[in-house]
Structure formats: structure tokens, C-alpha cells
Chains A and B, each alone.
Chain A
Amino acid sequence: MATPEHCTSFERSAHRYLRAYPRRWRLSKEAEVTAVLADLAGPGATRLDLRSGAGLVVNGFRTRHRERPPLHLLAAYRIFGRRLPPRYRGWVRDDIEGALLGFRQMVWRFSPMIFAWVVVPLVIGHPVAWNLLGPYFLLLATVTAATAARRRRTEAGRHLVPGVDEPFGPSDLARGWILRDRVRARPMLGRLACAAAVVAAIATPMSIGGARWVQPVALAVGAAIAVLAGRRLRRVVPRRREQGARRMVDHGTHWDAAIVLGAALLIGLASLWGQVAVAISASAVALLPVLVVAWREAARTLGELALVDVWTIGATGQVSPVDRVVKGIFAPPMDTGTELAQ
């Protein structure tokens, strides 16, 4: 019989191949299939053999293809946001909850523009206007990444809540009152501070020579704001209110992507135009001390501090109002429950 170490490395090996299957299929069957693979491999197996793995990959993609809606329905869903029939609700839930939803939508909705502005010029030998298209696509990508969570909620409300005359299925969501999600301050502020430092370091040398006085002034202004914000945070944070209707969440990888893309966009713009470099480097230099002080205060706070608290207290000197439950959507437990006697 396989030892726990062998099972773990075998499971990891099997899970890599099982990624070919759709997400919800893996959620419901991964443990069961891994057990069958382990039984077939025999005791002492530390990894899945290549032939079995190839079989899983082929069948995984066949399963994806089988469950995918036909092209005309898929195009209507992607481009016009049309609801798919209930039998594709599981596929839709995978699509909405999967990574890169926004980018998949972007590719479909902007494909005519990409075809006209990039593919056609390349085919006919005309130069592509990358100095305009580059920043434009980078801006689109940054906004797409930053709004990923909001888009996911909107799409889920549009596509995953069954209509009045539709039965409730296992992939469906329900509307109801939910806790208010708030992003944790410390990780987000740390990342923003790093991005500001990188942008300041790269954009400052790109500033046109006569405007070198701007950065020291920006640093002084930023430092003054940082001192004021720091005092407010130290004074007001201990008095913050209990937030029973709040749920603290991590900022999510989409925000990491948005910060990186945004920094790349700013550096790109700074490299194109010297005057813009002055404004960008001054803004980054001014923001840096504010972000560092806010991050330090959030790190020193007992208990978790939300980003909205840091903003409200730092900007106004007042405690944040108490969050209330909000209308939202959630996945109800699929317990059949008990029908009450009439």
C-alpha cells in the first residue's frame, strides 16, 4: 500500500493532468478519479504514467468540448451578453468564476478592432501604429483587470440567477442579503507603494531637464500629507467601530495584474512624452511617502484594517461608518430542507 508521501506526490502528478477537465468537473470528481488512478497505478507509484496522463488530457478536452455551447450561442453570449439556455449554466458558471474572464470578453468584443488595426496592416505591409495602440490596449487591460471582481458579480447576476419560470439547478445562484466585502489594507498598500517606487525611479530620469525642481517639491508635499495622515490614523484607528456586517477579503490577483499593468502604462507614457514624464514622476514621488506611512500604520494595527478605513480616516479624520448587509448573490447550500406543515 502506498505511503502518505507517495500518495501526495502521486496526487499532485494526477492533478496536473486533470487540469484539462472543466473546473466544476474537477471540483466534483477530482478526488474520486485520483483514487481510481492510484488504484490502477498500484502501490508505491509516485507519479502518474505518461500514457494515463495523455488519456486524461484527451478526455478532459473532449469533456470541455462536449459541454461548450455551440458557436452561435457562444458568440451571442460573449459579444451581446445574451443568456444561455439553462443546460449550459454549469459552463457559464465555470466561465464567470474562472480566471481571465475580462480578457476573454475583451478579445471577443474587440476582435473587429484588433483585426482592422493590427491584422490587416500587418497583412498588407502597412506599419501598425503601436505608439498609439500600445498605450490604448494597455489602458484597456489595466481597467479590465481592476474591474474584474465587479464584472464577475454583474455577470453572475445576469447569467446565473434562474428566471421565475426556470428550475433551480446545481450551478445556479440566488439573490439575497450578504455581508459587505472590504479589501484588507496592508497587502494592497504594500503593493501600491512598491509600484509607486518603481514608477518614480524609472520616470524621474525621463523628465525633461528644466523641470527637475518638481520632484523635490512633490516629495515635500507628499511628506506633509503623509505626516497628517499618519497622525489621523494613529488617533482615530483605535476608536473604529465594530463591523458585524463586514467580510474582510484579499485584494485578489486581478488587482496585482492591474497594478503591474498600470505601472507599465505610466512608464510607457513617460517614455513617449517628456512633459508627461514630469507629471507622472511627480505624482509617484508625492504618493510614495503617503502609501508607506499608511502601510506602516495598517501593519501596526491590532486586528484587520480595511482599505476603505485607511482612506476615510486618512482623508477626513473620521471613523468609517458601520457597514450594512447589502443585496447580492450567493451559492445556496443544496440541502433539500424540510417542508413546513401547512
Chain B
Amino acid sequence: MSEQAYLVLLALAQEPRHGYGVVQAVKEISDDRVHLGAGTLYGILDRLVAAQYAEASGEIVVDGRLRRYYRLTPSGRDVLTEETARIAGLAARAQRLLAPAGRLALGGA
């Protein structure tokens, strides 16, 4: 799963969001590091909906603009949880490798 797709799933995990809301949430979660364009966002949303990790959950018109909301499905939440656990496990292993005791253990006699 790409980082951008992971961040979109994370944004939807908090609450159902429309497209612009997802872009804003991803920007905030990534600490202003990831800026999604509309083309990239909808490519990710199309693949998530096709994989049944996300679904459309309603639409409203605000100031003449159509806002379609998306939400996470139960299988999307499961895959997000697994991916988060995988990333957390990887981060923990990386921390051990980078810690001073770990570096001495690798280089010791």
C-alpha cells in the first residue's frame, strides 16, 4: 500500500469526508508533508472503492458545489489496522537497530 493511500484511509478512519476534506486531513496528518492533487486523490479513492475498503456515503450541495462523502468500510478498517501494526512493527525494529546498544552488538567481537 502506498503512503498516500494509507494516509487517505487514515483520514477516512476519523469520520466520513468529502474530497476536499480528505485533502485537508491528509495534509494535517502528514504534518504538511503530503499535498494530494485531485487527480491523485480520486485515483486512490477509485482503487479503495473497487477494493471495497471505502464507499460513498451520501452527497449534499453546498453553495452550488457537489460534495460527495466517503467513509471507511469494515474491511477497510481491518486493512488499515493491519497496515498500522506492520508500520509500527517496522518502526520498532528500526529503533532497535539504530539504538547505541544495538549498534555495539552488531559491531562487537
Contacts and interface: CB of A to CB of B under 8 A. Distances in A.
Contacts of B67: 32, 35
Contacts of A37: 38
Interface string B36-50: 011111110010000
Contacts of A58: 39
B20 A35 contact: yes
Contacts of B64: 7
Interface string A5-16: 001000000000
A57 B40 CA distance: 11
Interface in B21-69: 23, 37-43, 46, 59, 63-68
Contacts of B42: 29, 33, 59
A35 B43 contact: no
B40 A59 contact: yes
B37 A32 contact: no
B16 interface: no
Contacts of B43: 59, 62-63
A40 B20 contact: yes
- Residue of B42, B63, B67, B68 contacting most chain A CB atoms (<10 Å): B42
Contacts of B38: 33, 36-37, 40, 52, 55-56
Q: Report whether over half of chain A's contact residues are helix, strand or loop; otherwise say mixed.
A: helix
Contact of A56 (B18, B39, B63, B65): B39
A36 B23 contact: yes
A29 B68 CA distance: 9
A55 B20 contact: no
Interface of B: 18-20, 23, 37-43, 46, 59, 63-68
Given A35-B65, A39-B20, A40-B38, 12 more contacts: A1-B63, A32-B66, A33-B38, A40-B20, A52-B39, A56-B37, A56-B38, A57-B39, A59-B39, A59-B40, A60-B39, A63-B43
A40 B19 CA distance: 10
A286 interface: no
Given A32-B59, A35-B20, A40-B20, A55 B65 contact: no
A51 B37 CA distance: 9
10 contacts: A7-B64, A32-B19, A33-B38, A35-B19, A35-B65, A36-B18, A36-B19, A55-B39, A56-B38, A59-B43
A56 B23 CA distance: 15
Closest 9 CB pairs of A and B: A59-B39, A35-B65, A55-B39, A36-B19, A39-B20, A55-B37, A31-B66, A56-B39, A32-B68
Given A7-B64, A38-B65, A63-B46, A33 B40 contact: no
Interface string A50-89: 0110011111101100000000000000000000000000
Interface size class of A (residues with CB under 8 A): 20 to 34
Nearest to A31: B66
A5 to B, nearest CB: 13
Nearest to A37: B38
Interface string A301-323: 00000000000000000000000
A36 B41 contact: yes
Interface in A23-53: 29, 31-33, 35-40, 51-52
A39 B37 CA distance: 11
Contacts of A59: 39-40, 42-43
Nearest to A35: B65
A59 B37 CA distance: 10
Report which residue of B18, B37, B40 has the largest number of chain A beta carbons within 10 angstroms of its beta carbon: B37
A39 to B, nearest CB: 4
Contacts of A32: 18-19, 59, 66-68
Contacts of A1: 63
A1 to B, nearest CB: 7
Contact of A36 (B20, B59, B63): B20
Contacts of B66: 31-32, 35
A52 B59 contact: no
B45 to A, nearest CB: 9
Contact of A39 (B39, B46, B59, B65): B65
